[in-house]
């Protein structure tokens, strides 16, 4: 009876990991593609907000790669993956701060139309990722941190679209800079949350 129960639990866990792996592969592909699109058009349009969002996409692609790596490993590996993802999020937060500061010093005005269109495409892509990840957001620290990254992306995308409208109306680069700095702050806040939670889970895993 006990053996049958354990086998059933093992099969259930294996099925869950298989579903998680499929979802992670999809969101990894979407984010990698959108990084290339957003970075290219962000550079061409001189948009800090768009480039910040593209770096977010790149960071997320790395995050999902870590998640896939840790998927079929133990709790310690999943906690380590969460910790690594938190560090990556922090790095990109500081990268975005530096890029936005550079745009501030050069006082360039981005191309509002490009910002708006690419921002809308990125929003649609991240909405798909969020839906795919939603049912797995409470599975473990690995999937929770992944879902948090996707949720942050939605906020960033909306910010880019709002900034594009304001840049067009005001003919000023300030809205773009403000959103760029705000995205960086969001990265750093989420990084702190994920690192704190992952360190606690790692401590508990080592203790047991």
The CATH number given to whatever domain includes residue 30 is 1.20.1510
169 in any annotated domain: yes
165 in any annotated domain: yes
Whether the CB-CB separation of 45 and 164 falls below 8 Å is answered with no
118 in any annotated domain: yes
Q: DSSP class of residue 108? A: P
To which H or E segment does residue 15 belong? helix 2-45
Three-state secondary structure call for residue 93: helix
131 in any annotated domain: yes
8 in any annotated domain: no
Alpha-carbon 127 to chain mean position: 12
14 in any annotated domain: no
Total domains in the fold of the chain: 1
Whether the CB-CB separation of 55 and 98 falls below 8 Å is answered with no
Whether the CB-CB separation of 49 and 183 falls below 8 Å is answered with yes
Domain that holds residue 154: 22-207
For the ranges 4-13, 26-35, 77-86, the maximum mean pLDDT occurs at 26-35
The span from the CA of 77 to the CA of 64, in Å, is 14
Whether the CB-CB separation of 41 and 50 falls below 8 Å is answered with yes
Structure confidence by residue, pLDDT tens digits, 81-139: 777 777 877 887 787 788 777 777 777 788 888 889 999 999 999 899 888 888 777 66
pTM of the model: 0.69
Whether the CB-CB separation of 138 and 96 falls below 8 Å is answered with no
Q: What angle do CA 29, 90, 148 make, to 5 degrees?
A: 50
5 in any annotated domain: no
What's the confidence (pLDDT) of residue 83? 78
16 in any annotated domain: no
């Amino acid at each position: 009876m006990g053996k049958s129960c354990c086998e059933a639990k093992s099969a259930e866990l294996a099925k869950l990991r298989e579903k998680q792996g499929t979802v992670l592969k999809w969101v990894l592909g979407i984010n990698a593609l959108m990084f290339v699109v957003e970075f290219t058009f962000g550079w061409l349009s001189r948009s800090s907000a768009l480039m910040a969002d593209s770096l977010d996409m790149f960071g997320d692609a790395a995050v999902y790669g870590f998640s896939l790596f840790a998927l079929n490993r133990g709790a310690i590996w999943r906690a380590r993956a969460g910790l690594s993802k938190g560090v990556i999020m922090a790095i990109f937060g500081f990268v975005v701060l530096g890029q936005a500061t550079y745009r501030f010093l050069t006082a360039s005005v981005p191309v509002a139309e490009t910002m708006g269109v690419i921002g809308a495409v990125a929003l649609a892509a991240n909405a798909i990722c969020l839906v795919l990840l939603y049912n797995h957001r409470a599975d473990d620290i690995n999937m929770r941190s992944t879902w948090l990254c996707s949720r942050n992306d939605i906020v960033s995308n909306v910010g880019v679209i709002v900034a594009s409208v304001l840049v067009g109306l005001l003919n000023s680069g300030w809205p773009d800079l403000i959103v760029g700095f705000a995205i960086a702050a969001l990265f750093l806040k989420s990084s702190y949350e994920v690192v704190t939670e992952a360190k606690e889970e790692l401590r508990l895993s080592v203790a047991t």
